Amino acid sequence: MVSQITTATVIGIESYKILVEVDLVQSIPAVVIVGLPDVAVSEAKERVRSAIKNSGYSFPNQKVVVNLAPADIKKVGTNYDLPIAIGILARDGVVNEEEMKNTAFLGELSLDGSLRAVNGILPIVSGLKDLNVEQVVVPKENAKEAALIPGIKVLSAETLRDVVCHFSTEKEERKELETCEVDIEDYLNEYTTTKYEFDFKDIKGQIKAKKALEIAAAGGHNILMMGPPGSGKTLLAKSFASILPPLELEEAIELTKIYSVAGMLQPDSPLINKRPFRTVHHTASSIGIIGGGSNPKPGEITLAHRGVLFLDEMVEFPRQVLEVLRQPLEDGEVVISRAQSRVRYPADFMLLGAMNPCPCGYLGDSKKQCTCNDFQIQRYRSRLSGPLLDRIDIQIEVPRLSTEELLNTNTKSESSAQIRERVIKARKIQIERYKDYPILTNSQLTAEYIKIFCKLDEKSENLLRNAISKFSLSGRSYDRLLKLARTIADLDSCENIESSHIAQALQYRNFVENNDI
C-alpha cells in the first residue's frame, strides 16, 4: 500500500500543497525520486537514508519509489527531507499513517537525524491553513515563525526520532511533540522601543527637505533629492527611516513572508516589525534589484516592500538598471517570467533617490563654480528618463547650507519622534478612509479611487488647470499631484483638498526634465 504524506512548496510567496507518495518495490535496493525535483531534492535520498539509520531505524532493503505530486510543479529546496523520511517509515509500519492524515511535515534532515531550518515556512504554513490542514510539524528553529499564523497547530521537533515517537505505532514509545504558540502583538510592539542612529533633530537647516520627507512618509510617495555634495542629502535619507510609521499586522505578515522566502529571518525575531530601508550600491545589477535567477528569488525592490529603497548617487546607476524600476513603481509588484515558470513578488516600495545637479556637483551652487560643459551636463542628466521622473511624486532641491545655518547651534530642530507622530496620525486617517478598499496609502490610489477621494472645489480646479497648462502635465503627473495634495490635506487633518494643498504640492513637483533640471 502506498503511503501519502502532506507537505508544501512555495513559488514566489504563494504556497502549493504537495503529496509525498512512497511505495516499496521488490527490486534491487535503491531510492528513486520523481515528480520534477531539482538537485537539492534529488540529493534528499542520501540524507534520508543516513538520517533513518542513525536515528535507530532500519532502512527498507527494497527499491523505494518517491513521487512528489502534482508532478508538473517544480520542487525546489530541502524541506522535503522530513516528509520523505516519514513516508518511508509509514510504509514500513513504524509510524501510524492514519494519525497523520491532516498533518503536514516540513524540514531538512542532517545525516545524524537532527532537523534543520528551511526557508519559506511562513507562506507555506499560511497556505496550508487556508487548505484546512490542522497541524504542521516543523524544525524547532522554524517553530516561532510558523506559529505566527493563527488557526493551525504547530508542533516543533529537534530530530527525526522526536517526530517518529509522536506518531509511533508502539504506544510505549509515544512522546508528544511540543506545541509552539506566540503572541504576535509582542513582536509588533517591539517597534516602539527601536532606536535609530540618525535623527532629524541633528540635521541643520533644510526645512523644505524635511517637510518633503514627512509628506513622503505620510503618503508612501516617491521622492528625489538633488543638491551639491555635502548639502545633507545622504544624512536626510538615513534619517528618513526614523519617521516611518509602524507596520500594520497585514503588512508585517506579508513582509515576513518575503524575508522568509529569502532566508533572511532571525530565529529569535520571526516577525519583521519595522519598515525596511534598503540601500543599494550603484554597481548592483538589474537582476539584483528586480529579482530573478534560475530559481527566482526576491530582489531589492521586493525586500523594500512596504518600506524604502534608497538609491544614493542615483544617476550613477546604469540606465538599464533604472528603467527596470518603471513597471514596479507603477504596479506595486514585479513579475519574473522564465521558460517553465512565472513568479510574482510584491514590490510596493517608496523610491528615495539622491543626485548631484551635474558631474562636478556644483551647478547652481552659491559658493563654487561649476566646471562642466553643456554636453557633460546633458549626458549626465539623460540617465534619468522622462517616464521614470514622471513616476517620482516629490522632486526637491537640497541647497548648500549658509554660514549662519552651519554655525547656528541655538535653534533646535524637530525630532524624528515628533515628526513620526504626525506621520502616524496621517496614516491612520488613510487606513480608516480606505478600510473598505484594497489599498492602505494615498500613493496606491488608482484613477478610479482618485475620482472618489480627491474631489476639488472651484478654486482648486482653477489652480490645477493653470498648472496643467504651464507645466504640460501628463495624465500620470496629474494623478500623482492629486495624490500628493491628498496627503498634505491629511497632514493638516482636512477632509477635503483645498487650494493651499494643491499649491504646496506644486512646490514639491519641480517637473524635472532630463534636459532641464
Q: Is the pLDDT of residue 163 over 60?
A: yes
Shared-domain flag, residues 208 and 74: no
pLDDT confidence of residue 154: 97
* Distance of alpha carbon 293 from the chain centroid: 18
pLDDT confidence of residue 444: 92
- Using DSSP, state whether 95 is helix, strand or coil: strand
Strands (E), 438-503: none
* Distance of alpha carbon 238 from the chain centroid: 19
Query: What band does 513 get if pLDDT is binned at 50, 70 and 90?
Result: very low
Q: Is the pLDDT of residue 511 over 60?
A: no
pLDDT confidence of residue 189: 77
Per-residue pLDDT, averaged over 296-300, amounts to 91
pLDDT confidence of residue 514: 42
pLDDT confidence of residue 386: 86
Distance CA 421, CA 490 (A): 13
Q: Is the pLDDT of residue 179 over 90?
A: yes
Share of the chain above pLDDT 90, in %: 65
- Summarised one tens digit per residue, pLDDT across range 95-109 is 999 999 999 999 999
Phi, psi of 99 (to 5 degrees): -75, -10
Shared-domain flag, residues 277 and 292: yes
Q: Which residues have a Cβ under 8 Å from the Cβ of 248 and sit 6 or more positions away? A: 431, 440
**DSSP letter string, 369-422:** -----HHHHHHHHTTS-HHHHHT-SEEEE-PPPPHHHHH--SSPPPPHHHHHHH
Among 86, 75, 91, smallest CA distance to 33 is for 75
Question: H or E element: which one contains 254?
Answer: helix 249-261
Shared-domain flag, residues 330 and 399: yes
* Distance of alpha carbon 285 from the chain centroid: 18
Distance CA 121, CA 204 (A): 45
Phi-psi region of 366 (alpha: psi -120 to 50; beta: other; left: phi over 0): alpha
CB-based contact 120:146 (threshold 8 Å): no
CB-based contact 485:454 (threshold 8 Å): yes
Choose from 143-147, 202-206, 388-392 the range with maximum mean pLDDT. Answer: 143-147
Strands (E), 392-497: 394-397
pLDDT confidence of residue 510: 64
Shared-domain flag, residues 108 and 209: no
Distance CA 217, CA 224 (A): 13
Shared-domain flag, residues 196 and 177: no
Could you say which of 361, 386, 418 is where a domain stops?
418
In a domain, 517, yes or no: no
In a domain, 385, yes or no: yes
Share of the chain above pLDDT 70, in %: 97
Shared-domain flag, residues 170 and 215: no
Q: Is the pLDDT of residue 241 over 80?
A: yes
Nearest-10 Cα torsion for 76, 77, 82, 83: -10
Distance CA 475, CA 100 (A): 57
On average, the pLDDT of the chain sits at: 90
Query: What band does 1 get if pLDDT is binned at 50, 70 and 90?
Result: confident
Q: Is the pLDDT of residue 516 over 60?
A: no
Q: Is the pLDDT of residue 402 over 90?
A: no
Q: Domain containing 71 — which CATH number? A: 3.30.230.10
pTM above 0.85, yes or no: yes
Query: What band does 450 get if pLDDT is binned at 50, 70 and 90?
Result: very high
Least confident of 82-86, 187-191, 216-220, 398-402: 187-191
Shared-domain flag, residues 303 and 318: yes
CB-based contact 201:243 (threshold 8 Å): no
Per-residue pLDDT, averaged over 359-365, amounts to 89
Shared-domain flag, residues 124 and 176: yes
Which of the two residues, 83 and 469, has the higher pLDDT score?
83
Q: Domain containing 206 — which CATH number? A: 3.40.50.300
Q: Is the pLDDT of residue 191 over 70?
A: no
Among 157, 86, 145, smallest CA distance to 119 is for 145
Amino acid at 438: P
pLDDT confidence of residue 69: 94
Q: Which residues have a Cβ under 8 Å from the Cβ of 352 and sit 6 or more positions away? A: 216, 222, 223, 225, 237, 240, 308, 309, 310, 311
Phi, psi of 401 (to 5 degrees): -70, 140
Q: Is the pLDDT of residue 49 over 50?
A: yes
Maximum Cα interatomic distance, the chain, rounded to a whole number of Å = 89
Strands (E), 152-288: 153-157, 178-179, 223-226, 277-280
In a domain, 498, yes or no: no
Amino acid at 313: E
Query: What band does 192 get if pLDDT is binned at 50, 70 and 90?
Result: low
Count how many domains the chain has. Answer: 2
Among 313, 321, 386, smallest CA distance to 352 is for 313
Query: What band does 309 get if pLDDT is binned at 50, 70 and 90?
Result: very high
Scan for cell 509588533, then name that residue: 188
In a domain, 407, yes or no: yes
Shared-domain flag, residues 309 and 333: yes
- Summarised one tens digit per residue, pLDDT across range 62-90 is 999 999 999 988 899 899 999 999 999 99
Shared-domain flag, residues 166 and 85: yes
Residue 59 DSSP symbol: P
Q: Is the pLDDT of residue 515 over 90?
A: no
Q: Grid coordinates standing for 333?
A: 509588484
Distance CA 242, CA 263 (A): 25
CB-based contact 105:90 (threshold 8 Å): no
Q: Report the 10 Å Cβ neighbour count for 185.
A: 9
Scan for cell 523610491, then name that residue: 351
Q: Which residues have a Cβ under 8 Å from the Cβ of 469 and sit 6 or more positions away? A: none
Shared-domain flag, residues 229 and 367: yes
Could you say which of 357, 387, 418 is where a domain stops?
418
Q: Report the 10 Å Cβ neighbour count for 487.
A: 29
Could you say which of 418, 447, 462 is where a domain stops?
418
Q: Which residues have a Cβ under 8 Å from the Cβ of 418 and sit 6 or more positions away? A: none
Amino acid at 485: A
Q: Is the pLDDT of residue 483 over 80?
A: yes
Whether the bond between 150 and the residue before it is cis, its omega within 30 degrees of 0, is: no
Query: What band does 193 get if pLDDT is binned at 50, 70 and 90?
Result: low
Shared-domain flag, residues 131 and 208: no
Distance CA 499, CA 467 (A): 12
Query: What band does 187 get if pLDDT is binned at 50, 70 and 90?
Result: confident
In a domain, 505, yes or no: no
Distance CA 204, CA 216 (A): 20
Per-residue pLDDT, averaged over 349-365, amounts to 92
Give the angle 210-214-220 at the CA atoms, nearest 5°. Answer: 135
**Residue 296 sits in which domain range?**
189-418
In a domain, 169, yes or no: yes
Scan for cell 525575531, then name that residue: 269
